[in-house]
Amino acid sequence: MRFADKTVIVTGGAAGIGRGCVNVFHAEGARVGIIDRDAESAGQLADELNATRPESTFVAVCDVAETDDLKAAVDGLAAKLGQLDCLINNAGAHPPATALEDFSAEQMQHLFQVNFLSTYVGCQAALPHLRKTKGTIVNMASMTAVLGQHLSTAYSATKGAQVSFTKALAIEAADDGIRVNAVLPSNVDTPLMHAWANTLDDPATALKRVAELQVLKRMASPEEIGRVCLFLATADSSFVTGQAIEADGGAALDY
C-alpha cells in the first residue's frame, strides 16, 4: 500500500473529486480526515470506510468559507489522526455561467473566500503539522486557470490565484521539506456535473458534448483525479514541487 501509516486531510471530501481522493487514499492504507459542510454525506462515507478499517476515517463538519472554523477543523483532525502527511485543498464552488457585469463584487468576494482563501487558510493551518512529517500539499485548481471559460471569468480568476499561490508557497515551504503542487482537472464525472446537466433541456446530449471536449472523448472519474493527487503525495513525485499538473484528458490540445 502506497500510503500505509500516513494520513491525509481532504476538504470537500464528501462528494465529487474530494470523495474520489478520500477513496483512493483510504484504499492505499491512509488514515483520512474529511472536512465538509455536508454532515450527512461525510458521516455516511466515514461509516463505510470505518466498516472496512475501524478508526481509519474522521470527519470535521465545516464551511471552508469560515476561517476560524477551518483552522480548528484542520487542527482537530490532525490531532485525531496523530500526524498530518498531506493536505488536499479540494473544496470549492462553481457558480452558474454569468457575465462579468452581472456578477457582483459581493458575489466575487464570497467565491474568492470559498475557492482561494480556504486554500490559503488551510495551508496556514496545516504547515505546522506538515513540517513534522515533511509532508505535501495538493491544491485542486482547474484548467480554467490557464484556458479561461466562457461566462466564468470570476471562477477562472479564483483558480488562477490558486495556481500562483501554489508556485509561491512551494518556494517558501521547500526550506521545511514540504512539497506543494496543484492539480488542474478538466471535466470530471461528478454529481455536480449531472446536476448541471439536469437543468438543461437535454441532459444526455449536454453530458456527451462535455465528454467530447477531451481528446479522450470522456470525462475523468473522481478516482482518476484522486490517483494524480496520490502520486503528488508520495515519494514517486519526490522531485516535483510548484507544478500545475494538467489532468485534462487532452482537452487543451484541441482547445
155 is catalytic: yes
Give the CA diameter of the chain. Answer: 53
**Cβ(113)–Cβ(65) below 8 Å:** yes
Residue 181 is given by DSSP the state: E
Which of 72, 84, 6 lies closest to 35, judged by CA?
A: 72
Residues 227 and 236: their CA atoms lie apart, in Å, by 12
Beta-strand relationship, 31-36 and 86-89 = unpaired
Beta-strand relationship, 57-61 and 179-185 = unpaired
Given 17, 155, 178, 220, the catalytic residue: 155
Residues 233 and 137: their CA atoms lie apart, in Å, by 7
Residues 183 and 198: their CA atoms lie apart, in Å, by 27
Active site (catalytic) residues: 155
